[in-house]
Amino acid sequence: MLKILVIDEVQERALEICEGLTRAGHMVAAVLPDALDLHDKVCSLHPDVILIHTDSPSRDTLENLAVLDRSFPHPVLMFAEDDADDVIRQAMRAGVSSYVVDGLAPSRLEALLKVAMARFDDYQALREERNIAQRKLSERVVIDRAKGWLMKSRKMSEDEAYHALRKMAMERGLKLGEAAAQIVSAAELLIG
């Protein structure tokens, strides 16, 4: 059973969506007429999925989704009538997991929720891989700077500088990147 936040400016349509979700065994966390203060509402309601039905996503809706995606990402399934390429791209960039054109058919709802959640999970995994790669690259740059400073100031070879850096990290119970950052900070203080 999923807990779903429904956003639809048309009340009758929202009620139909809620009926379809309940029949499928899901719980409706709330029904909102718009995405204003979406971040706060998601933080208080803790939905598993956000389902938005709109003729065309407004700029405010997309901005609120983008804010939510940066700080508290959730699977978002959007049903819209607007099939313009740029609107679809903007929605996807704002954090929409699945953008469906041609209306909401209750019989397809369960499958579309699964697709949105699977796409969201895949995107989050890619995002985490990217973040790890960026951290490793940043750490590698700091380690290289620390080795360079040791090589220059202590007339060490690259291998000697690496081993000295590694020894310092082990003695102080630090990760190699943390020890390198300390050396770089100290060097920057000394050099000014």
Q: Are residues 144 and 178 in the same domain?
A: yes
* Same structural domain, 37 and 82: yes
Distance between CA atoms of residues 60 and 38, nearest Å:
10
CATH number of the domain at 185, please: 1.10.10.10
Residue 5 pLDDT exceeds 70: yes
Nearest to 29 by CA among 10, 11, 43, 16: 43
For the whole model, what pTM was predicted? 0.77
User: 99 and 12, same structural domain?
Assistant: yes
Contacts of residue 184, Cβ cutoff 8 Å, sequence gap at least 6: 142, 145, 146, 149
Residue of 192 and 96 predicted with greater confidence: 96
Structural domain for 162, as ranges: 130-191
Kindly tell me if the per-residue pLDDT of 192 is higher than 70.
Answer: no
Q: Which of 69, 88, 104 is the last residue of a domain?
A: 104
Q: What is the pLDDT of residues 82-129, one digit of tens each?
A: 999 999 999 999 999 999 997 777 778 889 999 999 999 999 999 999
Inform me whether the pLDDT recorded for 189 exceeds 90.
no
Q: What is the mean pLDDT of residues 142-170?
A: 95
Instruction: Pick 190 or 71 by higher pLDDT.
Output: 71
Same domain, 93 and 145: no
Mean pLDDT of 159-166: 95
CATH of the domain at 63: 3.40.50.2300
Same-domain status, 28 and 100: yes
Backbone phi and psi for residue 125, each to the nearest 5 degrees, phi listed first: -65, -45
- pLDDT tens digits along 27-38: 999 999 999 999
Residue 92 tokens, joined: 């996807």
Measure the CA–CA gap between 55 and 58, rounded to whole angstroms: 9
Residue type, 165: L
Residue with token string 């709802």: 109
pLDDT of 73 > 90? The answer is yes
In the chain, the number of structural domains is 2
Instruction: Match 């039905």 to its residue by tokens.
Output: 53
